[in-house]
Structure 1
Amino acid sequence: MSMEQRKAVIEKALGDKWNKLDSIIKLHYGLKPGRDAQLHLRGTMNEVYHSRIGKLFLIPGRIFGALVPYKGMAIPTEVRNWTSRGNKQAMYWHRRLFFPGKDPVIFRSKMECVGKNEIFEYVNYGMGIRLQTHAQNNALHFRSLGYVWKVGPFTLRIPNWAILGDAEIIEKAVSDRELFVDFNMVHPLFGKTFSYSGKFVIGKVIENERAKV
């Protein structure tokens, strides 16, 4: 395995800018594809929001396993990230949000680096979002460049405005064990369609243990 292949997904995308991130952000995104390792985060979403227009997309979006169909405040949330010896390209995500009186909402995805400062994050059935990455003020920023839908040998590109609008995600350090995530989607005509934000405590990396999918 080459030195480039040994790097984490976001490390490959950012290149030298990876070193500008706070250490807790590098810990979160430092799992290296091709190795069995996992990491757990626990925290609370201050708010999970969607607009009326956003709800029209969120409900069918659950077919693809994407995003969250409910609104709420102070939502307990667990995040599990892992990499696998069997996949030398991807970092996996498993999110669980616990809304009162409802079954846990599960949101799975995987991230792959596709070029300098660019990753794809895929959900089910070949649907994914293109994200531009950069480091700013020691924080990690993502900005959507559009969506892709892979169906067999074909790839359909979908602009931001055709779904929920422009997405921006910022992840920054709060302390040496806590981080803050802020995710917003804003449509050029309909305004904010979806958002969530919250603080998480990060655990230790567990090496050489295969994650239970």
Structure 2
Amino acid sequence: MALANMNVPDSARTIPVRAPRETQETTQDTLLDLRFRALMSDAEWSSLPQAVRRRFTKRLSGGRTAVYAGEILETRMNFAGRCLAQLARLIGAPLPTSTDAHVPIVVTVTEDMATGGQIWTRLCTRRDGFPQIINSSKRFSGPTGIEEYLGRGLSMALTIHASNGALVFRSDTYVVRVLGFRLRLPAWLSPGVMTVSHAEIGETRFLFSLKVEHPWFGVLIDQTAAFQETVT
């Protein structure tokens, strides 16, 4: 699901979060991280808004952290999606388990010191109980040049695209590491195609979408959240 084809909810335009002091650091920063950009064609990269390009070239080494605060606008799951989310607890719960809407969410991005990639941590609050913490690591390796490590040896190779001004990550294959060997999961054992989109909605705000779709069970999980950059 490409975010540019979605109607942006009104609540996404009115997140009461303070804007950062620095919003034009792109061309002045000579120490850019160009690994995401290297996986895209010149035309696709150039089609993205400047703010999106800046976020995905931000250098995070040396202890730097990017922080994004926002609100979960909607999470929908069918029965198979709920089962998948619960089953995924066995590898660290990388999928949302709650359908609470209009609750805060915070994302931090830091350097993965072990692999040189990036660790993405999502803190998703719930109306009842402790927040759910979702961790994953984007690693610049694998057959497509980038993969997301989910936990317990499971990772998925990603492809990266630009679609109508949105940056889109899409799962390509799933791989599990067992006894030092990388084994590709067959299609029938795959949880489906995961698509994550990042689209600018103005004034340093952006819309995040996560969608998992299975050829037999339809759309398993569909989550949308709106974020505002914070000062780091």
| TM-score, normalising length: structure 1 | 0.83
Match of 1:7 among 11, 33, 44: 33
Larger CA deviation: 23-32 vs 123-132 = 23-32
- In 1, the alpha carbon distance for the partners of 2:153 and 2:196 equals 22
CA contact (8 A) 2:67 2:107 kept: yes
Match of 2:45 in 1: 18
- In 2, the alpha carbon distance for the partners of 1:108 and 1:48 equals 18
Summarize deviations over 1:106-164 as a string: whole Å, max 9, x none.
00011012379642011222211111101233320111112111123111212455243
Match of 1:187 among 211, 214, 218: 214
Q: In the TM superposition, what are the counterparts of 1:119-130 in structure 2 within 5 Å?
A: 119-130=146-157
Confirm whether residue 83 of structure 1 aligns to residue 111 of structure 2. Answer: yes
Match of 2:97 among 59, 69, 84: 69
Aligned letter for 1:81?
A: V
Closer, same or farther in 2 for the Cα pair 1:115/1:25, shift >3 Å? farther
Moved over 4 A (4+): 115-118
CA contact (8 A) 1:118 1:133 kept: no
Shift of 1:96: 0.5
Match of 1:150 among 164, 177, 185: 177
- In 2, the alpha carbon distance for the partners of 1:123 and 1:13 equals 21
- In 2, the alpha carbon distance for the partners of 1:99 and 1:181 equals 18
Shift of 1:13: 2.1
Secondary structure, counterpart of 1:114 in structure 2: coil
- In 2, the alpha carbon distance for the partners of 1:88 and 1:98 equals 29
Confirm whether residue 39 of structure 1 aligns to residue 66 of structure 2. Answer: yes
Match of 2:225 in 1: 198
| Pairwise CA RMSD | 2.4
CA contact (8 A) 2:194 2:213 kept: yes
CA contact (8 A) 1:6 1:33 kept: no
Aligned letter for 1:40?
A: V
Match of 2:203 in 1: 176
Secondary structure, counterpart of 2:147 in structure 1: strand
- In 1, the alpha carbon distance for the partners of 2:114 and 2:91 equals 21
More strand by share: 1
Shift of 1:33: 5.9
Equivalent residues, number: 200
Shift of 1:181: 1.1
CA contact (8 A) 1:32 1:83 kept: no
Match of 1:162 in 2: 189
Gaps of 5+ in 1: 207-213
- In 2, the alpha carbon distance for the partners of 1:36 and 1:174 equals 29
Aligned letter for 2:153?
A: G
Shift of 1:83: 1.8
Secondary structure, counterpart of 2:33 in structure 1: coil
CA contact (8 A) 2:144 2:157 kept: no
Shift of 1:51: 1.4
